[in-house]
Structure 1
């Protein structure tokens, strides 16, 4: 059984932070949230392990202020698995690393076939981890003993995994690549809020008419406001399909809405006034949402041959070359260069078409320097080849 200490009192917190400060080497950090249960993405448990310090499970609500922990470990390397998922929740607690080592990302760069935590621990250390509680409601209190044991195991082996992967990176001469990728994850800004987020309602494509879309907007907003206030995942109050069913049924009265079989969810009847008020607001709205909004999303590649034949030729020529390069480097293609970046370059390439202009375009798309160094010439050559192959030869034009 893994040894750990649960810290859920301020008087124990200072001693735990002092122990971690006195440890040596990097610290393993993980976070448990209540995704799918709560509205927020706040951390409901923070696991920290450091050699010669011990393993601690910090309970954020009773602790509140994590300043002492940040002061204790803020300047050393933090080892996380899939860091981009945990960093926002950690930053809500004012916990922010100076440098990171992402074991999931390292495994991808090394070409590991499976990169989940359990798979990486097994492939590097030969230890099998049970993942029985990964989708649990971590806002539950008190936390069951089996959950705490599971949480402790998430960091107990992470430093050893980091060391094994670091050696692999050195052996494959990918240490500099990994360092760039880790720094990029750490520096990545949060995504800006989506325009018209209510349009993400699953099944909204079946709703017709701008007035019906206004109703969808009001129902989504009402559910979002209530979910935020209750700190409950919106879908647990009223699922998307239930909101869409109510819109399509077009009930004439609140009673009809309440009698609608497909209008389900634990808050569908207890908050019936809330949903009916939203429907009425949507019906009386004078400013109606457009059927579609302007988007910079590119057409699907299958439509390119008709809509932009030159771009279609560029993409068909460059994509296998990037895939071959990724295979030669021993990593997934998407880690060498994101498919969206490649598609956008193929759709609208820079001028003049050469390695330098492609490099500038890649930098503007936030590609890392190692990615630019590996791909710029390959992309430029492939684009030029696609133009030349499309030009008629003297024989074909005679």
Structure 2
């Protein structure tokens, strides 16, 4: 096994627009696909922007771009236009690359491909070890990449990651061909590449971890005011909100309903880096929640919404039978194809088509495979998923009707 210490990668650090233009020219003159990666400071900074972008192409070399000193990535985007970009877990990096004006025109996702191949371990380090025989040290994957200057060992880590992507891509692509899954992978890659950004969350404070345990509108009002106060401070300091005050402290304060600033200070479960240094801020927020007339209203229920599947057996036995039999059949198919069930067809899509299957054609008692395939694609399934899953689901629904 080749160790990371035995590898000697070289790279060019790019910190300004002139350096980016030179790097773009070099990458444009290279050969083959380009390996791309990005490092963020998740858990340290308020946003999720990239603090380092890496690119490698054969006959061009490895370039590490520092976005903090670069005004425009347009020359790089132009140089890489029309090329296949190799990323690992692309859905994590594409949003921060998009913010820089960088978006893959073609995509090969090594992590997603490995899942379709049925590999048990799909992390970059595990894949590089199993496919290339190289043992990587992943010590800096969760580092604060907003640190300046970046340590040499971090840069070495970042450069080596991206430089190995083309070889890893070739190995995995060969395995996709051997398992006759290349078309599946291409559809999945394109779906990731074209995936629309998530819309802003309405009332994001409702996403506080553990908040589901709070029921009263007054408790929820305290959660809302503490969340808003924390978010404002996090923006000001460019710090991850949870590093200032964890969600657990917000929930604890709302549940305790403190009567005074001192009560809040004495609450042992109210912890966090800024729990005491910003105590006045938190108490003022809690007090607003305790006294406001603008109490949060329960989320309106959609009368047409699908109920939680755990209650189907008692209240909707027909749907429960369809779901159970179809899930068992799809699980067997997934095992036969060495594809994780969630990649063959997501549980959400299976639940939706089981809850509301297409209406059978006149003269028939159950929906056909073609009808189910169309419904699955309407719901967001890829074509290859629908082609494989629909006939299995159609048979399962017939069995459920007969049971």
Is the TM value for this pair above 0.5? yes
Q: Does 1:203 align with 2:210?
A: yes
Which of residues 18, 25, 36 is equivalent to 2:43?
A: 36
Question: Is the 1:198–1:221 Cα contact (8 Å) retained in structure 2?
Answer: yes
Q: In structure 2, how many angstroms separate the alpha carbons of the residues matched to 1:293 and 1:232?
A: 33
Q: Does 1:357 align with 2:364?
A: no
Question: Is the 1:29–1:46 Cα contact (8 Å) retained in structure 2?
Answer: yes
Compare 101-110 and 1-10 and name the one that shifted more. Answer: 1-10
Q: Does 1:47 align with 2:61?
A: no
Name the counterpart of 2:395: 381
Q: Does 1:21 align with 2:28?
A: yes
Q: In structure 1, how many angstroms separate the alpha carbons of the residues matched to 2:151 and 2:391?
A: 55
Question: What pairs with 1:270-285 in structure 2 (closer than 5 Å)?
Answer: 270-285=277-292
Compare 5-14 and 356-365 and name the one that shifted more. Answer: 5-14
The 3-state SS of whatever aligns with 2:13 is strand
Name the counterpart of 2:163: 156
Q: In structure 2, how many angstroms separate the alpha carbons of the residues matched to 1:204 and 1:293?
A: 17
The 3-state SS of whatever aligns with 1:48 is strand
Question: Is the 1:209–1:291 Cα contact (8 Å) retained in structure 2?
Answer: no
Q: In structure 1, how many angstroms separate the alpha carbons of the residues matched to 2:379 and 2:235?
A: 34
Name the counterpart of 1:340: 348
Q: Tell me, which stretches of 5 or more residues in structure 2 are unaligned?
A: 1-7, 361-366
Q: In structure 1, how many angstroms separate the alpha carbons of the residues matched to 2:305 and 2:192?
A: 24
Question: Is the 1:33–1:42 Cα contact (8 Å) retained in structure 2?
Answer: yes
Distance apart, 1:210 and its partner CA: 0.8
Q: In structure 1, how many angstroms separate the alpha carbons of the residues matched to 2:402 and 2:210?
A: 45
Compare 80-89 and 107-116 and name the one that shifted more. Answer: 107-116
Which of residues 319, 324, 342 is equivalent to 1:316?
A: 324
Q: Tell me, which stretches of 5 or more residues in structure 1 are unaligned?
A: 390-398
Question: Is the 1:38–1:231 Cα contact (8 Å) retained in structure 2?
Answer: yes
Q: In structure 1, how many angstroms separate the alpha carbons of the residues matched to 2:388 and 2:213?
A: 44
Distance apart, 1:293 and its partner CA: 5.0
Structure 1 residues 11-59: Cα deviation after superposition (integer angstroms, max 9, x where no partner): 3222111111110110000010011111111000001000000001111
Name the counterpart of 2:274: 267
Matched positions, count = 389
Q: In structure 2, how many angstroms separate the alpha carbons of the residues matched to 1:297 and 1:237?
A: 37
Name the counterpart of 1:106: 113
Distance apart, 1:170 and its partner CA: 1.5
Distance apart, 1:257 and its partner CA: 2.4
Name the counterpart of 1:290: 297
Which of residues 370, 373, 376 is equivalent to 2:384?
A: 370
The 3-state SS of whatever aligns with 1:44 is strand
Q: In structure 1, how many angstroms separate the alpha carbons of the residues matched to 2:84 and 2:248?
A: 44
Q: In structure 2, how many angstroms separate the alpha carbons of the residues matched to 1:208 and 1:73?
A: 52
Q: In structure 2, how many angstroms separate the alpha carbons of the residues matched to 1:320 and 1:206?
A: 33
Distance apart, 1:195 and its partner CA: 2.9
Compare 239-248 and 305-314 and name the one that shifted more. Answer: 239-248
Q: In structure 2, how many angstroms separate the alpha carbons of the residues matched to 1:326 and 1:208?
A: 40
Question: Is the 1:90–1:96 Cα contact (8 Å) retained in structure 2?
Answer: yes
Q: In structure 2, how many angstroms separate the alpha carbons of the residues matched to 1:42 and 1:31?
A: 9
Name the counterpart of 1:71: 78
Q: TM-score w.r.t. structure 2 length?
A: 0.92
Name the counterpart of 1:394: none
Name the counterpart of 1:231: 238
